[in-house]
Amino acid sequence: MSSGDPPPFFRHRHLLGIEGLVPPEISLILDLSEVYVEQNRRADKKQALLRGRTIINLFFEASTRTSTSFVLAGKRLGADVIEMSVSSSSIRKGETVIDTAMTLNAMHPDVLVVRHPESGAVKLLSEKVNCAVINAGDGSHEHPTQALLDALTIRRRKGRLHGLKVAICGDILHSRVARSNIHLLNIMGAQVRVVAPRTLLPRAVERLGVEVFHRMEDGIDGCDIVMMLRLQTERMQGTYFPSIREYFHFFGLDYEKLNRASADALIMHPGPMNRGVEIDSVVADDIGRSAIREQVEMGVAVRMACLDLLARSDIEHDPRNV
């Protein structure tokens, strides 16, 4: 596959989540992302594939890295990229997500990249517009491009996804990253564990096809991947654990706990990291084991692949294509 070829067929009109995708679709995105990883490492990073197309980044929630990653992805494909931060303007004037969607839709964008603090809001918005919509994170629901970039990182380091033991640790309750990763890794045949205090696990999480642990030492035992999550204190109302000190003691990743994982276990974190809260700085910065920087790099490539597939695929406006 090369980036100049016509885009492969992708049966979805939007990318709203990982749930519902099938293995060949995930592999397709990852394979195309590989092409863009190479392009991004060249001096001349820019192409004209999406020349004339307009991408609007619509963020109802503050974000730096995801937003920047999508902007770079769009620009490197030659699209016009507009950034809109709605959290501070229209919402305060009483405009709803639907109003915003309709307004932007009238400007004929080709892709809307949307982040919203409420689960399901991006889907609601996608029903009101004529263009493709990419979910850049909705509440505690899904963050599909994060799971895809994690998968790309893992696949490049480990050569596969199938059969790997992956521990996702920390604030599962509030994490859209965890949900998307659980779906993706399950779809691709990995064995997924979640590790958290009971207060940070949603009800019936085992029904998502994961093994549940409440002790880090047991949860990451023999794992190939240790994926740490950020504590989403902004989503927490009330007490979920007694103190940061206690949380780090039991659930923070340090070398002592990491020793239980496989000797070549890869450490991941979607960022931004709370150093000394969910992960020890020394571990986070361990070049040999930490893939955290690489995740950021893969993010741009994966988002280029997603934009390419959705902006260039000519799918009829058919409600079955979701």
Q: How far apart are CB 126 and other proteins at their closest, in Å?
A: 11
179 binds other proteins (CB under 8 A): yes
- What order of strands is seen across the sheet that includes strand 225-228? 211-213, 191-195, 165-169, 225-228, 266-268
Is 123 a binding residue for other proteins by CB under 8 A? The answer is yes
Q: In angstroms, rounded to a whole number, what is the distance separating the alpha carbons of residues 20 and 229?
A: 23
Minimum distance, C-beta of residue 309 to other proteins, in the bound complex (Å): 22
What is the smallest separation between the CB atom of 211 and other proteins, expressed in angstroms? 15
Query: To the nearest whole angstrom, how small is the minimum distance from the Cβ of residue 106 to other proteins?
Result: 18
Of the candidates 53, 141, 193, 257, which one interacts with other proteins according to CB under 8 A? 141
Q: Which of 23, 24, 120, 209 binds other proteins (CB under 8 A)?
A: 120
Nearest residue (CB) to other proteins, 39 versus 140: 140
Reference 22, options 12, 8, 34; nearest CA is: 12
CB of 122 to other proteins, least distance (A): 9
CB of 102 to other proteins, least distance (A): 11
Residue matched to tokens 């899904």: 142
Answer whether 162's CB lies under 8 Å from 188's CB. Answer: yes
CA distance 210 to 191: 7
Among 25, 61, 138, 224, binds other proteins (CB under 8 A): 138
| Residue 84, strand partner residues | 58
**Residue with Cβ nearer other proteins (98 or 296):** 98
Contact indicator for 57, 83 with CB cutoff of 8 Å = yes
Contact 122, 149 (CB under 8 A): no
Cβ proximity to other proteins, 74 vs 144, nearer residue:
144
**Amino acid symbol at 59:** F
Stretch of 25-33, 134-142, 146-154, 253-261 contacting other proteins, by CB under 8 A? 134-142
Is residue 163 within 8 A of residue 192, CB to CB? The reply is: no
Q: Does 121 bind other proteins (CB under 8 A)?
A: yes
CA nearest neighbour of 184 among 139, 154, 213: 154
Does 209 engage in binding with other proteins (CB under 8 A)?
Answer: no
Q: Which is nearer to other proteins, 64 or 96 (CB)?
A: 96
Does residue number 118 form part of the binding site for other proteins (CB under 8 A)? yes
Give the residue, chosen from 13, 53, 76, 176, that forms a contact with other proteins under the rule CB under 8 A.
176
E strand or H helix at 195:
strand 191-195
3-state secondary structure of 68: helix
The identity of residue 155, as a single letter, is R
Is 236 exposed, middle or buried (CB count within 10 Å of its CB: 0-12, 13-18, 19+)?
middle
Could you tell me the smallest distance in angstroms from the CB atom of residue 250 to other proteins?
Answer: 23
Which residues lie near other proteins (CB under 8 A)? 19, 96-98, 116, 118-121, 123-124, 138-142, 176, 179, 202-205, 207-208, 237
